[in-house]
């Protein structure tokens, strides 16, 4: 992934505010040429810094208002099998390998508590999963954001 310069950060701040903002509007707001903004967006996308044609959909809009995290303990020889199986469960939004007493941290969504139980059981039955622990999200208090990281002067 390439290093972001001040212009990249300015463009990303605008897109973080409104991901559907037309390139010409971003250029106008930042006092840059439209071609410059378009080229930068293409480079950011190619480098993996920006997801192409992405829209963050709120799971509740898809009938999945219940969110939870599951901590998974795995058979160390079957980690790849477990991760592969998790990719086929639509309710699994994210999965992280982290430092701690468990092996994977998984973010899931569900229709209701009964559906969360079903999702948890589906995860528990994946190959290599020895133990799960579920924590229910009561409400979102800080939504996903990156704007603060794009501000000038933030440590890199």
Sign of CA dihedral 100, 101, 105, 109: negative
Does residue 155 sit within a domain? no
Do the beta carbons of residue 67 and residue 137 sit within 8 Å?
A: yes
Does residue 33 sit within a domain? yes
Does residue 77 sit within a domain? yes
- Domain residue limits at 103: 66-137
Supply the pLDDT for residue 62.
Answer: 86
Per residue in 50-105, pLDDT tens?
Answer: 877 666 778 998 899 999 999 999 999 999 999 999 999 999 999 999 888 899 99
Examine the domain organization and report whether 133 and 72 are in the same domain: yes
Does residue 94 sit within a domain? yes
Instruction: Indicate the DSSP class of residue 128.
Output: T
Beta bridge partners of 73: 131
Query: In this prediction, what percent of the chain has a pLDDT beyond 90?
Result: 65
pTM of the entire predicted model: 0.77
Sign of CA dihedral 63, 142, 104, 53: positive
Alpha helix (H) residue ranges in 18-134: 23-30, 34-47, 79-86, 113-124
Domain count for the chain, please give it: 2
Examine the domain organization and report whether 49 and 73 are in the same domain: no
Supply the pLDDT for residue 4.
Answer: 85
Q: Which two tokens stand for residue 28?
A: 């106008």
Does residue 147 sit within a domain? no
Does residue 48 sit within a domain? yes
Instruction: Indicate the DSSP class of residue 87.
Output: T
Which among 135, 85, 81 is positioned nearest to 108, based on CA atoms?
135
Examine the domain organization and report whether 132 and 91 are in the same domain: yes
CATH of the domain at 128: 3.30.70.920
Q: Residue 126 — pLDDT band, cuts 50, 70, 90?
A: very high
């Amino acid at each position: 992934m390439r290093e972001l310069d001040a212009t990249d950060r300015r463009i990303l701040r605008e897109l973080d505010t409104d991901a559907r903002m037309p390139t010409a509007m971003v250029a106008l707001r930042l006092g840059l040429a439209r071609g410059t903004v378009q080229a930068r967006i293409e480079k950011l996308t190619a480098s993996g810094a920006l997801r192409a044609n992405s829209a963050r959909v709120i799971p509740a809009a898809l009938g999945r208002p219940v969110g939870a995290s599951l901590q998974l303990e795995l058979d160390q020889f079957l980690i790849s099998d477990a991760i592969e199986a998790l990719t086929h469960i639509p309710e699994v939004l994210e999965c992280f390998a982290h430092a701690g007493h468990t092996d994977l941290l998984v973010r899931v969504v569900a229709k209701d508590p009964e559906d969360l139980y079903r999702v948890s059981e589906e995860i528990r039955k994946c190959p290599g999963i020895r133990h799960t622990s579920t924590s229910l999200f009561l409400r979102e208090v800080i939504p996903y954001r990156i704007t603060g990281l794009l501000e000038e002067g933030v440590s890199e």
